[in-house]
Structure 1
């Protein structure tokens, strides 16, 4: 009742119903641990589609078995996975801490402004993101800002070369940055909080801290890319009409490409300009006029899209200077391409005597992929620093673990990886899919493999035979042999979504999408030799294509007679356990007596009844299908004294119809 009744009238009081809904957890969130061409190292990254994986980790790569498995996972019905990139780094590399691509950005006097590292921020810290991929990141700096004399813009571009052509993969632009430490647009903080390509810090390339930034104006800023980095002396005069200057196009990234020099002619078509502002478009037009159709596309695009900008205040203390940058309209654009201006009247045009090489962009360098392939130590990792499989500790829920590269290790190291992974997944109430090595390509080889790896038997793991062949986009779509784990994980997800986790992920509707062939064609008798061993077979049936034809855990060998023989029963139990584990946390610290027990029976019973109505259990009635017991019999006074409440939940699982027996009898006709 209300705590205080002070006035005559009607009082309203709300009373809790005691109903606390238990929500079923997801059942098919997969995790993949392997090497990848890019991505944060030893950090679990969520991917909700193959596009996410391609963007974060570089997509298909011939040295990464899991990259093919992840593609198969999404093509077969998977919707969410977590990817952990591992790498084996030699001691020298680790000691130098020089594994990410990097570059130094300086001001016009050569003073270091900041270091740029390939990588991005995860959970508040810079994620180590080693790899050659970072060597294809380029930076551009300009002063075309709202305060041209104080701030700068930073453009970041990641490029890839495909079939000899350069393609921009990602691009980020940060405008109106400053090196004023206390400013809200301080370059280091602004870029680090937002960029998914690079991170900035105030260290040099060796990791030594840079000198402190000034606390009062003027604040330094990095030099404009494409300029000399310093103001030029005031010229004597505006060059006259028809003055010429040479423009040289070169590819600084490939010395084998010959330099091409063209003569540009200024054309005023009237009175000569009187200011440098008026001269600028004439210089630009003269360079662009060199882009004749007969030139190669790369060279033509550099000239046709050339831009000329005028920087400076136009005083003796701060004279004007021209900045010339080549165009980038061609798909063949090379980031290292330059335009060089060489002319006898260079001084008159605002260029220094001799030449000015227009280096358009800073390029990151020294990124390393690490030692490939990765070893068992990198895959297993360590629990304390959360590396390898233990990087998944930062993930709330993982149901299925795939480590395709483990199958390529020697027998001892493979068993070490899968044994540790099985133990870890059991602690997470998850399931492990084990891949077999490429050499296990025959029935005899698979039987031998099972004998040699008998210690891997677990109720929370399964193995499939044979390996599958899928098109390889990195090799002209020629067929490539891969382990089945990624495909099967996707099949689990598809079956869970359409039928439920209690349905065996096998049968004629368990088609293996994007699988072009199987490494071995099994007969019924051969299937019958492997099935009693707990090996799930992949079969090819006319009209049904390639399908999964087995649903046993590695404790599913007939000789073991395990109650966890079948995958759907084990995965249903894991689903119920995880859902109840999360859904009964409210019980902790509640008064341990009959009112609490009644609420527990109500809420757990509602959850179990929901599964019964979906067809997850045997039985015609709830009483036949499941029970929930929590009372003074399960929780004795001794338990209550120790702060323990015991909840007993039982269910009658649906066992798959693994063998269908048809009895056919001939009957005599009507003898009358």
Structure 2
């Protein structure tokens, strides 16, 4: 706002600069679409390393070619990616029904299901507690979900089965932003009370009431199948033993003594003991190792006085429980053994006992995603269409499009049609200014089949994709590091990312610098002559060269056959053009609805010229001077009065691309001896 002078003096006014910096968009954000054993379904999840992939999608899986492609991407220099999990069409979601506590587990209170299909859901457990919940609110509770395999946890405090509550559990857990990534929940019709809390609860412990005048013991029983734990007497406080001075210390003592006694009977048997919300009481929960004791994670633990309590703890007054009764450990700990419950509700594998029922096992399914599953639905954002919700990706890999038939690595899985998948993927890449890496199908395993494939078999053509041959051989950690054949797109995507980071997207991702890390060999060894047959057709070859190892030895797009004479023949030229297009698109959004006249045009010229000059200084263009390297034009010649009347402003951007030295000729001339004199 202009300053209005009212007194003699100096006035300062900040003026808006006409410069708006345009930053080059990243060129190496990869996207992977295909089958994984676990993870969010049909939702693009960003990962910044293979550890992120392991946390979100379970890591390597023998049936998931995508998992190996992602591993290769990060191994070869990739740093940023999205993964879209396309589940098996016949996968089943793990689930369990939690019953309520007000009717001693008679009525269903909550149904918890894994967020996606697969056997991974069988490793999910649910804890329920009432810490911090008012005693008068019988519908509110705290819900904790844990993945036993990865150790990941989610906690939702103060949720309620009351649909009128602002913390209604279905809404909180199902929130797309802050809700659960592991489970979904449903409150059955007619549910009137919260689920029964897990574990055995105790009231407020009087630490000053603890005694060590003699041994104090508990009798522990469990319903673990096989009768391994049957009325085990555990001495928790020994005569003369120092007494804990806090509830946390009491929990640690109780856990240590119980673990020692239970694990002596069976390895993997243990408990958790946690202080209550008030810090004055405690809760004991079975925490058995599911690998050591299958089916025992949800075991019911019950606590009672030893059968010979009179010998261990002294006589007890008739009627028991009165103020003058001899103290027992059960009374000192204030444990309410009558409300013993499952240790943890186990999805999929939970037994029909205590307050859980109707377990539905999760299953991976026998089928893998087919053509329609991979292509997906543009309106429901499934398959590759899930990437339409992603702000920016620049490289697309679909290993499942050329997935080998199960049990036969040399045949294509009949459930997938590569041409249909690649065709839909190229349309998406054209819309989003990205590049598709096309994999050869398993039957393409020599020069003759590769020639047929690139000439006639591959119907998806255009400048927005690049094809590579042959398939790569990678050590498989799940099979003793034996070499296994995979699609090369994940490896190539990582190479592109590494080249972009070190040299820029205008550098061809090929040559002796383009080593393929983690690759133990190739499905076919090409000679120079064979390479010379495929390269003119726009098929990039992978080679194993002495000294250099396995490298990428081509940099053409699928529009790069010599017969096409396309301006987008070379991969770095096409990728640089996409970077310029996307950067200009994002960096000039401010111009929308600005007055369409010379002041706007000059600002556009200034900003875009600064951007293009920055690329020129990095060596992205041909030419020794900016005049030879690029052009920015926005004036009355590009934008006529008719354009102005229609609300249009036109900007012309031109650049002289650097094309790779694909053929290097060295001329040698022998000189005869020169006469000196």
- TM bucket (normalised to shorter chain) is 0.7 to 0.9
Whether 2:399 is the aligned partner of 1:404: answer yes
Q: CA RMSD in A?
A: 4.1
Could you tell me how far 1:665 is from its partner in structure 2?
A: 2.5
Structure 2 distance, partners of 1:593, 1:286, is 79
Question: Which residue of 360, 366, 369 corresponds with 2:343?
Answer: 360
Q: 2:147 aligns with which of 129, 134, 158?
A: 158
Q: Aligned ranges for residues 530-545 of structure 1 at < 5 Å?
A: 530-545=534-549
Which position in structure 1 is the counterpart of 2:51?
51
Deviation digits for residues 604-627 of structure 1 (CA, Å, limit 9, x no counterpart): 111111111110001110011111
Show the 5 A alignment for 1:236-385: 251-252=224-225, 259=228, 261=230, 264=233, 288=258, 291=261, 295-299=265-269, 302=270, 305=271, 325-326=285-286, 328=288, 332=292, 335-337=297-299, 339=301, 359-365=342-348, 366=360, 367-369=362-364, 372-385=367-380
Q: Deviations over 1:576-601 (max 9, x none)?
A: 11111111122222222222222221
Instruction: State the Cα distance separating 1:533 from its structure 2 match.
Output: 1.0
- 2:627 counterpart of 1:667: no
CA distances 1:334-364 after superposition (whole Å, capped 9, x unpaired): 524555679878998999xx99986322111
Q: Which secondary structure does the structure 2 equivalent of 1:384 belong to?
A: coil
Q: Which residue of 1 aligns with 2:113?
A: 117
**How far off is 1:550 after superposition?**
0.6
Q: CA 1:306 to 1:428, structure 2 compared with 1: closer, same or farther past 3 Å? A: closer
Deviation at 1:159, TM superposition (A): 1.6
Distance change (3 Å), C-alpha of 1:581 and 1:102: farther
Which residue of the other structure, out of 454, 459, 470, is the alignment partner of 1:455? 459
Kindly tell me: are residues 456 and 152 of structure 1, through their superposed partners in 2, closer, same or farther at Cα, counting changes over 3 Å? closer
**Partner Cα distance (1:289, 1:671) in 2:** 98
Q: Does the 8 Å CA contact 1:537/1:548 hold for their aligned counterparts?
A: yes
Count, aligned residues:
606
Q: Give 1:445's match in structure 2, choosing from 431, 443, 449.
A: 449
Q: What is the CA–CA distance in structure 2 between the aligned matches of 1:265 and 1:650, rounded to whole Å?
A: 83
> Structure 1 residue 518: deviation in Å?
1.0
Number of the residue aligned with 2:87:
87
1:628 paired with 2:624, answer no
Q: What residue number does 1:103 align with?
A: 97
- Whole-angstrom CA distance in 2 between matches of 1:243 and 1:634: 93
Is 2:548 aligned against 1:548?
A: no
Please give the secondary structure, in 2, of the residue aligned with 1:37.
Answer: coil
Residue matched to 1:24 = 24
Cα distance change, pair 576–286 in 1 and its aligned pair in 2 (3 A)? closer
In 1, Cα distance between the equivalents of 2:401 and 2:235? Answer: 66
**Which secondary structure state, in structure 2, belongs to the residue aligned with residue 448 of structure 1?**
helix
Following TM superposition, by how much is the alpha carbon of 1:172 offset from its aligned partner in structure 2, in angstroms? 3.9
**Post-superposition offset of 1:147:** 6.3
Change (3 A) 1:100 1:293: closer
Q: CA deviation at 1:260?
A: 5.5
Q: Is the 8 A contact 1:264 1:290 kept in 2?
A: no
1:527 paired residue among 516, 527, 531: 531
In the alignment, is the contact (CA less than 8 A) between 1:533 and 1:558 conserved in 2? yes
For residue 459 of structure 2, give the secondary structure of its aligned residue in structure 1: helix
Q: Shift of residue 572 of structure 1?
A: 0.4
Question: d(CA) in 2 for partners of 1:668 and 1:169?
Answer: 78
Aligned to 2:573: 569
| Deviation of 1:525 (Å) | 0.8
The question of whether the paired residues in 2 share the 8 Å contact of 1:153 and 1:175 is answered with yes
Find the counterpart in structure 2 of residue 427 from structure 1.
Answer: 431
Take 2:216 and 2:629, find their aligned partners in 1: how far apart are those partners?
95
Q: Is the 8 A contact 1:157 1:171 kept in 2?
A: yes
Change (3 A) 1:422 1:324: closer
Distance 1:576 1:625, change over 3 A: same
Q: d(CA) in 2 for partners of 1:636 and 1:307?
A: 78
Alignment check: 8 A CA contact 2:216 2:237 kept: no
Indicate if the aligned counterparts of 1:307 and 1:327 stay in contact, CA closer than 8 A: no
| Aligned counterpart, 2:13 | 13
Structure 1 residue 178: Cα displacement = 6.2
CA distance in 2, matches of 1:243, 1:578: 73
Aligned equivalents of 1:196, 1:422: Cα separation in 2: 33
1:112-170 alpha-carbon deviations (Å, 9 max, x no partner): 33332323xxxxxxxxx22221121112334565868867554432123xxxxxxx532
Give the distance between the partners of 1:579 and 1:369, measured in 2 at CA. 42
| Structure 2: gaps spanning 5 or more residues | 203-213, 241-249, 310-318, 321-327, 332-336, 349-359, 404-412
Instruction: Identify the match of residue 171 of structure 1 among 153, 165, 180.
Output: 153
Instruction: Classify the secondary structure of the residue corresponding to 2:558.
Output: coil
Asked if residue 639 in structure 1 is aligned to residue 635 in structure 2, the reply is: no
1:137 pairs with 2:124? yes
Find the aligned partners of 2:562 and 2:218 in 1 and give their Cα distance.
Answer: 87
Return the offset for 1:99. 3.8
